[in-house]
Chain A
Amino acid sequence: MTVTDQQSRIGEQILHAENITLGFGGVKALNDISFDIRKGEIRSIIGPNGAGKSSMLNVINGFYQPQEGTIHFKGVPYRPMRPYLAASNGIARTFQNIALFRGMSTLDNIMTGRVLKMKASLIEQAFYVLRGKKEELEHREHVEKVIDFLEIQAIRRTPVGRLPYGLQKRVELGRALAAEPDLLLLDEPMAGMNLEEKEDMSRFIVDVNEQFGTTIALIEHDMSVVMDLSDRVVVLDYGRKLADGTPDEVRGDQAVIDAYLGVTHE
């Protein structure tokens, strides 16, 4: 990808976090963190274990309320925020530990991702008439596109509890995609996968970004994946921001190298 390509793909700020501080009792999970996410980019958040990466995602989609700081999403400040409000604003996410609806089929799981777009009244649903029927068919069609995109046609009717780990991760991505989010938060989408599965997942992430223009914020531990996929990377350590910039800048940053490789104390 050439530089001009990348610049035309990436637009203005979609999310801007300012001086976010989040503490649990005496522990500061996030300490005065500021960063932004631009429209259309793949933004990675990396850092050693316990650095506050997942906490940051949880703050973004309203699961945690930061004690200090504000977040602007699409230019609008939000606080306090509830998770379902974040969802209706166009933020979708996947989880580090899979959080699928285990008793439901793949199809139903992904259909659930479109729940906010369905408006039929209870009566219409009860009798499966008018909007009740029309919506089901329309959204089914969209969900089938997601299923085709992720190449999971064969497991459409399988309860997700029975699926292997890699496929569950893919279904979870599908559920987030079905909501057609403006911002997609992926919490370790490749944790516990083998090389082949990681390659598949990387391909899906890049395709989602390029084909649908979805902005993606990603947490990942595999450095080669992060450096290849991301447009910009923010590095956290012990709740503080260490570095922020393109993969190349971050790779050369002394503070980052120290955090990952350790530093001798004199």
Chain B
Amino acid sequence: MIERTPILNAITYLIMILGLILILGPFWMIFTAATQSLQEVTAVPFNMTPGGDFFKNVHAAWDRANLGPALLNSLITSLLVMTGKIVLAALSAFAIVYFKSPLRHVFFWMVFMTLMLPLEVRVIPTYNIAADVFEPVRWIIQTLTGIELSLQWNLLNSYSGLVLPLIATATGTFLYRQFYMTLPDELAEAAKMDGARPLRFFIDILLPLSRTNMLALATIMFVYAWNQYLWPKLMTTDASYQTAMVAMRALVPSVNALPEWNVSMAGALIIMLPPLIVVAVLQRWFVRGLVSTEK
């Protein structure tokens, strides 16, 4: 606006700076604590200047939480979940938008309803089915035909178990559906006229056009997958499949031990860095993905 409002501007800046302290303060505290020695970090009042023990603390945290394999597991599962979600979303939305079938509404609603079934309310049965994926199949076959099968597939302590139950995506499907809806009908008409079959249209026209969507979806899904906690915590009893988020639990100082917050914070800092980098560096895409999936 054109008017001059020096006092109001000053107040605005003041509020924004206070906001910045509120937001960045915790980050700064995590960082400084991670660089201090045990003696410095337990000092009261807390000293807000960094110390010199950063690499020592990182090393200690790395050993204590077994961060090497944990970070690798997190990276692998996050990338798989991210890719899986994008592929599934693009495929499902294509089936919903570009084919006329009464079943598409049923399918769309079934995908939508999953939003109302968060993991927290179905932990035990989801755990059970991950332990024995073919249980429903066996049950159905047995009630229908009476034949008892010995088909078994255990997902616990495996990458498939970390990934598969997290891949279904209602929000991603919405995003893709919405994107397909905004494309002009003429595009599909022209493609059909030129003799393109559905698969060709999907691969050569829809996918290239949806590149921006894909990137936006990829950023939010990566952050989502990296930050998963409850599911990996439940289903990995074998430490070699632990993700970083679960490994973080080992960093909480126990009641009777030394309060080694410097080590905890060094570990926390490393674990929260990858999604933070995604959000900070790819912020445009991240915000875009977030805003468009929630519409």
Q: Do A and B come from one complex?
A: no
